[in-house]
Structures are given as C-alpha cells and as structure tokens.
Chains A and B, each alone.
Chain A
C-alpha cells in the first residue's frame, strides 16, 4: 500500500473516522498480537497517526469477532456482547488520549 493512501485513510487529518475505521479492522482481524506490532510500526512510518495505530492494536488484541460464538457459548450473550462492545469504546478512548499525549 502506498504511504499517501495510508496517511489519507488513517493519518492525522483523517480524524475520528480514520480511528474508528482502523479500530473496526482490528476488531475483525484474527492475527496473533505479536505480529500486529511490526505491522503497526510500518503503518506509523508510512504516515498513520498514533491514535489510529493505538486503536488498531487495542481492538485487535481485546476484541475477537471470529471467536465471538465461542465466547457467547461459554459466558453468555450479555457478557460477550458487553465485553466486546465496551472494549471497542475504551479502545477508541485510549487511542484519542494517546493521540493527545504523544
């Protein structure tokens, strides 16, 4: 992916939409967290904002769309939906705070 495109979609000027977008991608993807860090670093190098990268890592590790059926089976619908839904919200909050600090 060319850097211009990355920074257009998830760079500083893409604002909250970019953060929500990349957070949703992180929530849907099912890859080991350890692989997400080099990916996140290369996104940063290519113009992604700190908030977007923080949102991506946080939703990727905390939210499991692929494993949601299993979570529902073990812990019930309420806990599973609340945990995943609220995790998304706190991931966005964490991302915004990090963007403001760094």
Chain B
C-alpha cells in the first residue's frame, strides 16, 4: 500500500513539473531549445550510469560481507574509518546522485552515519581532477586552504549529524 501511494505521489510530482515546464516555455518560447537539449543530456547521462550503478550495487550486496563494512566503516572504525570514507568518496568519478544509493547500501551493511556523511561530502567536493582544475584557475593557496578547511569541517559535520540522529532516536 505504501509503495503504491509513493508511486502515485511520484507521478503527481512529475505531472506538476511538466505543467510548470509548459507554462514557463509558453512565457519564454526562445528557451525551448536549450531546455530540451539540457534535459536530454541529463536523461542520457542517467540512462548510461544507472544500470551500471545497479549492477555494482547488486554485486556489492552479494559479495561484500557485512563484517567488512562494519570493520572499515562501522561504529568502532574510528580515525581509520574516517580516512577510509574519504578515500572511498574521493576515488570514483561521477555525479553526486549516484553516490546516494551506494551510501544507502553501505548504511544497510553497518557503516556509521558519520562515515556516510563524510563519504558523500568527499564524493561531492574532494576529487583529484577537480582540485587540479581549481589549482589552475584559482591558484595553489586558494585550492589548498579550501581543501583543508573542507576536510576538517566535513568530518565535524559528519560526527555532528550522527550525534543528532542518535539523540533523536533515543528520545
């Protein structure tokens, strides 16, 4: 029943967005081509990426035992877990939204919430090619300081969110 309601909600949302799109396009007809081009680009990106992510997640679910996730990212993983989460988020390339199902799968297998937040943030903004481009355009000082501050604050945020969620679960 819940699934069905969610599906109806998704379709209603989709319909609403379509209506907004039609209204906006009739106000700004000259933007039509750019809108269609961008939407198509994102659509193709999703079509290419999502099946691959699903397959990797399927393999992950079957092949990676829970103990390994708990050991490296679980509640007793400590500093090592934080470092592991950063590395895990830094290495792959791809848009942030493909990290969400991966993060959900890791959570289900026993990873700590703080490490998941750190993993997502690392995926979002600590990428080697990204840092190289930042270095090129904004200089070594800007890039290095922003990188260091980002790592520090992301770790603080991860721990803070975990404490908040644990606290609200206890209540």
Q: Which residues of A are interface residues toward B (Cβ below 8 A)?
A: 32-34, 37-38, 40-41, 44, 50, 53-54, 57-58, 61-62, 64, 67, 69-71, 73-75, 78-79, 82-83, 86-87, 90, 93-94, 97-98, 101-102
Q: Which residues of chain B are near A67, meaning CB under 8 Å? A: 95-97, 100
Whether the pair B142, A50 counts as a contact (CB closer than 8 A) is: yes
Q: A74-B101, A75-B107 are in contact. Are A62 and B138 (CB under 8 A)?
A: no
Whether the pair B97, A61 counts as a contact (CB closer than 8 A) is: no
Q: Which residues of chain B are near A90, meaning CB under 8 Å? A: 153-154, 156-157
Chain B interface mostly helix, strand, loop or mixed?
A: helix
Q: Which residues of B are interface residues toward A (Cβ below 8 A)?
A: 13, 95-97, 100-101, 103-104, 107, 113, 116-117, 120-121, 124-125, 127, 129-130, 133-134, 136-138, 141-142, 145-146, 149-150, 153-154, 156-157, 160-161, 164-165, 168
Whether the pair A40, B153 counts as a contact (CB closer than 8 A) is: no
* Minimum CB–CB distance for A53 against chain B, Å: 7
Whether the pair A98, B137 counts as a contact (CB closer than 8 A) is: no
* Minimum CB–CB distance for A82 against chain B, Å: 5
Excluding A87-B157, A102-B145, 7 further A-B contacts by CB distance (< 8 Å) are A37-B134, A57-B134, A61-B130, A78-B165, A83-B161, A90-B153, A94-B150
Residue in A75, A78, A86 whose CB lies within 8 Å of B104: A75
Q: A74-B103, A83-B117 are in contact. Are A37 and B137 (CB under 8 A)?
A: yes
* Minimum CB–CB distance for A37 against chain B, Å: 4
Bound CA span A98–B124, Å: 20
Whether the pair A86, B161 counts as a contact (CB closer than 8 A) is: yes
Whether the pair B161, A79 counts as a contact (CB closer than 8 A) is: yes
Bound CA span A102–B101, Å: 38
| Among B97, B113, B116, B164: residue with most chain A CB under 10 A | B97
Bound CA span A9–B105, Å: 42
Whether the pair B120, A41 counts as a contact (CB closer than 8 A) is: no
* Minimum CB–CB distance for A3 against chain B, Å: 18
* Minimum CB–CB distance for B133 against chain A, Å: 5
Chain B's closest residue to A31 (CB) is B38
Whether the pair B100, A62 counts as a contact (CB closer than 8 A) is: no
Whether the pair B149, A97 counts as a contact (CB closer than 8 A) is: yes
Residue in B13, B103, B125, B141 whose CB lies within 8 Å of A61: B125
Q: A70-B97, A83-B117 are in contact. Are A94 and B161 (CB under 8 A)?
A: no
Whether the pair A64, B97 counts as a contact (CB closer than 8 A) is: yes
Residue in B136, B161, B165 whose CB lies within 8 Å of A37: B136
